[in-house]
Amino acid sequence: ALRARMEERLLSARFRYINQQLYTSSSQEAAQLFQNDPEAFQIYHRGFAQQVGRWPENPVHRIVRYLRQRPASLVVADFGCGDCKIANSIRNKVHSFDLVALSPLVTVCDMAKVPLAAESVDVAVFCLALMGTNLQEILEEANRVLKQGGTLMMAEVASRFEDLRAFVNAMSHLGFKSVSK
């Protein structure tokens, strides 16, 4: 029992470490990290699922509820899709992008450069996935693939924002108008 408890602690520590790495490195470095150490991805996702499981609400469920209320004809891009909860929960065409494929639905790529044509998507989603120090490049990529008047949905933990107003302002410079917060 002691050994199992210690192993559990080590895995949690490893998850926090990888999470921190993802938030403090560029998306190219993150891609490199998982390429060099595929086990890191498994550990990360196990820890992620455990953490979100303790929250009163998983934001991905709210995003799914919203998408279900909108036409199934809308094309969705899920940036940093993890285990593809969105693609698995709605009838829409969903492009699911991540650094490693946890499911056959995933297109493996860096979300700063996705294999989609410009203006081909109605809704772009970042659910707990706005990682990487090259945020601007990533959001510009979302802007490129979104149709005019398309929707960007973002879910992040509040503590990640140093200044929410400055963030919303920066987003408007990137071409996004805040509709709901």
In the complex, least distance from residue 123 CB atom to ligand SAH, rounded to whole angstroms: 14
Choice between 156 and 167, CB closer to ligand SAH: 156
Residues 88 and 84: their CA atoms lie apart, in Å, by: 6
For binding to ligand SAH (CB under 6 A), which residues are involved?
22, 27, 30, 48, 60, 80-82, 85, 97-99, 110-111, 127-129, 131-132
The least CB distance from residue 109 to ligand SAH, in Å, is: 7
Nearer to ligand SAH, 64 or 168 (CB): 64
| Residue with Cβ nearer ligand SAH (75 or 81) | 81
Residue 127 three-state SS: strand
168 φψ region: left (φ > 0), alpha (ψ -120 to 50), beta (else): alpha
CB atoms closer than 10 angstroms to residue 47? 19
Rounded alpha-carbon distances, angstroms, from residue 80 to 2, 97, 148, 149: 35, 6, 22, 22
Q: How far is the CB of 54 from ligand SAH (least distance, A)?
A: 14
Residue 23 or 172: the one with the smaller Cβ distance to ligand SAH is 23
Q: Residue 127 or 139: which CB sits closer to ligand SAH?
A: 127
Q: Of how many residues is the chain composed?
A: 181
Shortest distance, position 181 Cβ to ligand SAH, whole Å: 19
Write down the least CB distance from residue 2 to ligand SAH, Å. 31
| 21 closest CA partner among 44, 53, 42 | 44
CA distance 98 to 168: 25
